[in-house]
């Protein structure tokens, strides 16, 4: 979930910590006038960098959302407005492939995950974050797509993690998708649902006038998995085969989205938290 720019920053931080630790050891701890110490120190120095890098990776794997948000906030002024979009997406796997649906935007059709913009379920949400009606940008009045100042985003993340103000599942979005027959829809909405992971991404828009005159967009995704009973997999596969709006994609196809007419953000359902 970390872009190239973020990875470079992480490596830079690791290098700075490494240099600082080595310098402190060389100045205050290790007596480098002793030849034995010099030999031991020269052996430990490379190992120290590996240790620091591994510690950083552990922290990033355990707290990917917070680290990602910190990197995003560092790019903004604390009073800068950001457009926030909060979505619930579904992992629906059939024979180890992911069910996607075709959507058209600005004349371009691409496959995306099943799901959509989440709804807030408590009006206190607007009052707590001082969000005016004019700040909401969704098609539905309860859509969680809105403008917010940078300084409030950390607090927002905390409340999102606690699931206080928005839907705790993806079933509404699944039921609202156009294109499923009653039989297929019945299979999906009666499947066991479990929370899978959370992901965020951000981007700088090239056309601020098209998104409320803001420069930065923040996307927050909660991913849920629908566990399809194996006895229904063939039914879904047969249905998808006869409906071009639906597609069963492999992990490799999603990762190589440009070659497979798949929207880039579809990657978030794969839980790619590794730094690689």
Tell me the mean pLDDT per 10 residues along the chain, length 276.
60 81 78 76 81 76 70 77 92 95 89 91 76 79 86 82 75 84 91 88 79 86 93 94 92 93 92 44
- The token duo for 169 is 């599942």
What is the total count of domains within the chain? Answer: 2
Residue 276 lies in a domain: no
The pLDDT value recorded for residue 273 is 45
Please answer whether residues 268 and 199 qualify as being in contact, where contact means their C-beta atoms are separated by less than 8 angstroms: yes
User: Please, is 220 exposed, middle or buried when counting C-beta atoms within 10 Å of its C-beta (0-12, 13-18, 19+)?
Assistant: buried
CATH number of the domain that residue 85 is part of = 3.90.79
Is residue 200 domain-shared with residue 168, that is, in the same domain?
Answer: yes
User: Please, is 14 exposed, middle or buried when counting C-beta atoms within 10 Å of its C-beta (0-12, 13-18, 19+)?
Assistant: middle
Is residue 187 domain-shared with residue 253, that is, in the same domain?
Answer: yes
Q: How far is CA 209 from the centre of its chain?
A: 25
The pLDDT value recorded for residue 275 is 34
Is residue 133 domain-shared with residue 23, that is, in the same domain?
Answer: no
Residue 103 lies in a domain: yes
The pLDDT value recorded for residue 213 is 83
Which of 13, 36, 62 lies at the terminal end of a domain, its last residue? 62
**Residue labelled with tokens 């953000």:** 265
Domain span holding position 256: 79-270
Is residue 89 domain-shared with residue 19, that is, in the same domain?
Answer: no
Please state, in angstroms and as integers, the Cα–Cα distance from residue 231 to each residue in 63, 94, 189, 246, following that order: 37, 11, 15, 20
Residue 186 lies in a domain: yes
Residue 70 lies in a domain: no
The pLDDT value recorded for residue 100 is 95
The pLDDT value recorded for residue 57 is 72
Report CA dihedral (102, 105, 108, 114) to the nearest 10 degrees. Answer: -20
Is residue 155 domain-shared with residue 217, that is, in the same domain?
Answer: yes
**Strands (DSSP E) along the chain, which ranges?**
81-94, 97-105, 108-117, 145-149, 192-204, 216-227, 246-249
Distance CA 57, CA 96 (A): 28
Q: The whole model's pTM is what?
A: 0.76
The pLDDT value recorded for residue 75 is 74
The pLDDT value recorded for residue 272 is 54
3 state SS of 33: coil
The pLDDT value recorded for residue 95 is 93
User: Please, is 210 exposed, middle or buried when counting C-beta atoms within 10 Å of its C-beta (0-12, 13-18, 19+)?
Assistant: exposed
The pLDDT value recorded for residue 3 is 55
Distance CA 103, CA 156 (A): 29
Q: Give the Cβ contact number of residue 228 at 10 Å.
A: 19
Residue 74 lies in a domain: no
Is residue 157 domain-shared with residue 182, that is, in the same domain?
Answer: yes
Distance CA 258, CA 189 (A): 31
Distance CA 202, CA 157 (A): 14
The pLDDT value recorded for residue 166 is 72
């Amino acid at each position: 979930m970390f872009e190239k720019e973020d990875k470079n920053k992480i490596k830079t931080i690791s290098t700075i910590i490494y240099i600082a630790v080595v310098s402190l050891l060389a100045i205050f701890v290790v007596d480098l006038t002793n030849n034995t110490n010099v030999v031991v120190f020269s052996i430990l120095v490379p190992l120290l960098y590996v240790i620091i890098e591994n510690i950083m990776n552990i922290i990033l794997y355990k707290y990917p959302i917070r680290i990602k948000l910190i990197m995003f906030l560092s790019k903004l002024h604390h009073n800068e407005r950001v457009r926030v979009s909060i979505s619930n997406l579904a992992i629906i796997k059939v024979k180890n492939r992911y069910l996607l649906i075709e959507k058209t935007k600005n004349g371009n059709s691409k496959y995306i995950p099943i799901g959509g913009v989440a709804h807030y379920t408590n009006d206190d949400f607007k009052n707590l974050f001082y969000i005016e009606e004019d700040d909401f940008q969704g098609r539905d009045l309860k859509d969680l797509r809105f403008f917010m100042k940078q300084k409030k985003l950390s607090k927002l993340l905390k409340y999102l993690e606690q699931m206080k103000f928005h839907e705790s599942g993806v079933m509404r979005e699944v039921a609202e998708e156009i294109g499923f027959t009653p039989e297929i829809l019945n299979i999906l909405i009666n499947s066991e649902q479990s929370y899978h992971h959370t992901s965020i991404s951000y981007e700088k828009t090239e056309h601020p006038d098209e998104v409320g005159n803001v420069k930065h967009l923040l996307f927050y995704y909660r991913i849920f998995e629908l566990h399809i009973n194996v006895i229904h997999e063939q039914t879904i596969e047969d249905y998808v085969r006869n409906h071009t709006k639906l597609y069963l994609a492999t992990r490799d196809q999603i990762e190589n989205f440009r070659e497979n007419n798949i929207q880039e953000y579809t990657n978030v359902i794969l839980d790619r938290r590794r730094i690689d």
